[in-house]
Amino acid sequence: MLKHLTIFSLLALMSSCASTDKPEDKLSGSVDSLLSLMTLEEKIGQLSLYTSDWDVTGPTMREGYKEDIRKGRVGAIFNAFTAKYTRELQQLAVEQTRLKIPLLFGYDVVHGHRTIFPIPLGQAASWDMEAIERADRIAAEEASAEGIHWTFAPMVDIARDPRWGRMAEGSGEDTYLGSQIAAARVRGFQGKGYGDVGAVLACVKHFAAYGAPQAGREYHSVDMSERMFRDVYLPPYAAAVKAGSATVMSSFNDYDGVPATASEYLLNEVLRKELKFDGFVVSDYTSVMELIPHGVAADTASAAALALTAGLDMDMQAGFYQDALPRLVKEGKIKESLIDQSVRRILRKKFELGLFKDPYRFSDTQREQSTVMKPEFLEAARDMSRKSIVLLKNEGGDKAILPLSKNVKQLAVIGPLANARRDMIGSWSAAGDWKKSVTLLEGIKAAVSPATKVSYAKGCSITGDSTQYLAEAIRLARQADVVVLAVGEGGLMTGEAASRTSLDLPGIQQRLVEEIQKTGKPVVVVLMNGRPLTITWINDHAPAILETWYLGTQAGHAIADVLFGDYNPSGKLPVTFPRVVGQVPIYYSMKNTGRPLEVNNKYTSKYIDEVNTPLYPFGYGLSYTTFSYEAPVLSSNTMTSRDTLDVSVKITNSGSKEGVEVVQLYVKDEVGSVTRPVMELKGFQKVSLKPGESKEIHFRLCNSDLSFYRKDMTFGSEPGKFRVFAGGNSRDVKQAEFELK
């Protein structure tokens, strides 16, 4: 009888088995009713996630996977998109299988789908939660219109080693900022709820501590104390789970000697019991298989058993669950009830997405055509890109080179990234069409007056040591009134599997910069990169520097908006820039030592060949105007753990242009039962001020802002003295003091 049921009549049958009319109970009843009809093979199929492929002619599916779908041995597919293609694959599941259970389609929608926004590290530089949430709302609308139900984002890993290429995919070094962004991104992807056809399931990754690989090397071991994990790395995951993330992805790394994919402590004790996560957990790509080279599993069966027992619900690509679980159940080594538990979690999300009611509701070609890359989406991308740009240097005061005049007679645009269309959208750029991105050269040409002559020279390649383009670049620079010099890393030089031992400009780009500087012409250096670079020479010699990351589809227009003053930059660094790679790891919230720096005392914590301080501190970023701060004023000089302390900060636009400043609040615990950071971010606000205008910004500090994992590993505050710092970055601050009674 079952093979003749439609998906709708099957739903009705399952719903009739529900024990109560309460929505939550009815859903559980539907899930349990369906589960009771499933064979062991069909159950294991729901735990299996396989990839689609793309050829030059379009999407393809390996024939073996298609047959697996028809047999009910696949629960989800990733890397399949477009309404037409996902509908074709869905038809295999709901029209040719026994139980007609719909597929779940996942994809790496990391910083936009078709309309590409700045890389996540760039978006973090905006410190604008509303804009970040809006970017992922648009990404979800586009992705869902192309048949995608589920994104493998956001990545919320704290990262403090810029050698690690995947820093580009996260929010930088700070726990507080990272937690705020994690929640905003989940809200953006999931919208009003993931039953909404314009929303997708979020997948918080990578759980846990993936952003701290030893030596900054991708996929490497992580070794940290439990205190460090809980104080610094865990909170962004917790924030994302609290915001309602539907799914979580386990990480490649080991934690405390156990790979995360097989860590019952991480997946069950911390994630499910402590954080109250009730969605399902998917492995990272083949990470179940990788338990074997990790050295904790001897074969396919032991790897599958370890992962499932630890709480890993879905196996991405390895196929180990499909291969090993039937035999493990038959031999009594795995209880079928454990498989049922994972199947329930996955089926619940499919029900909540509305896929049993209409399996094709996300595969609508008309919605796809009317949604993708709408003009308002492109404008939002341009706005997000402008907000992500950080002005690192603009010397000269009132005579500063920036903003440039649109009427400059001769403008030379030079550098390997000046007209590099593919690189504008960076890594993990999903279904973004790099051919539709706007280059810096194009953005400049569109912005200047008709009387301006814009010339272009590549100068050199991004990598390699060829000097064949150098002479032409020098010649054009000498003829120009102003030079805009675009240098940095290639768009695919950051992201997964893109660790570097050097943070210098690759290839001969440094030589190009020096040769152009020798011409004596005013030079604006435009950086494009997915991590901090060591640009001390450029900082010492170039009069103006813009950090632009990889800004996405509208990159060229956004950079031009800032270059010519149509937009006053307000971005702030979400990560510290070192002077040399030997300072790494370097971050603003480090701890003091027993021998803190004394310049004239050799036997204190310092280098003999470099200063301790970074080139640019966390939170740093200039504007075309200036801001002055007064010392923070506290509502009281004492508080108890039950009190809230008001901190007011008066800020004035002391320059000649309207501008936006990110006012930052930091706290330092002077004495603790364990060592404490020199300062920690506890709040920030963006404020717009006209020239001469002043505003009083208010923050509230409560006991949770002063709490940490104490010596006995309980979480809470400790009485004592605290300092409060306020300013435009973590270095240039004014302070006040209070005591916690």
| Positions marked catalytic | 284
CA geometry: angle 212, 213, 217, nearest 5 deg: 135
Q: Smallest Cα–Cα separation from 393: which of 537, 266, 550?
A: 537
- State which amino acid sits at residue 660: V
Q: Scan for tokens 């957990």, then name that residue.
A: 281
Q: Are 487 and 512 in contact (CB under 8 A)?
A: yes
Q: Are 484 and 457 in contact (CB under 8 A)?
A: no
SS3 for 124-180, per residue? Answer: HCCCCHHHHHHHHHHHHHHHHHCCCCEECCCECCCCCCCCCHHHHHCCCCCHHHHHH
Q: Tell me the C-alpha distance between 173 and 220, whole Å.
A: 19
| Helix H or strand E segment including 619 | none
- Per the DSSP assignment, residues forming a β-bridge with 665 are 683, 726
DSSP sequence for 646-687? EEEEEEEE-SSS-EEEEEEEEEEESS-SS--BS-EEEEEEEE
- Which residues are CB-contacts of 559 (< 8 A; sequence separation ≥ 6)? 385, 389, 440, 443, 526, 546, 548, 551
- State which amino acid sits at residue 689: L
B/e letters for 293-330, b = 16+ CB within 10 Å, e = fewer, are: ebebbeebbbbbbbbbbbbbbbbbbbbbbbbbbbebbe
**Eight-class DSSP state of 113:** S
How many helical (H) and strand (E) elements, i.e. helices and strands, does the chain have? Answer: 22, 29
Sign of CA dihedral 13, 18, 24, 30: negative
Tokens of 127: 């410190």
Count other Cβ atoms within 10 Å, centred on residue 272: 17
How far from 462 is each of 165, 363, 417, CA to CA, in Å? 17, 40, 7
Note the helical H segments in 359-432.
365-371, 375-388
Query: If DSSP codes are grouped into helix, strand and coil, which group holds residue 683?
Result: strand
Q: Are 437 and 425 in contact (CB under 8 A)?
A: yes
* 702 backbone dihedrals φ, ψ, rounded to 5°: -125, 180
Answer whether the bond into residue 403 is a cis peptide, omega within 30°.
yes
Q: Smallest Cα–Cα separation from 209: which of 245, 277, 161?
A: 161
Distance of CA 95 to the CA centre of its chain: 38
Query: If DSSP codes are grouped into helix, strand and coil, which group holds residue 9?
Result: helix
Answer whether the bond into residue 585 is a cis peptide, omega within 30°.
yes
Dihedral angle, C-alpha 507, 508, 510, 514, nearest 10 °: -170
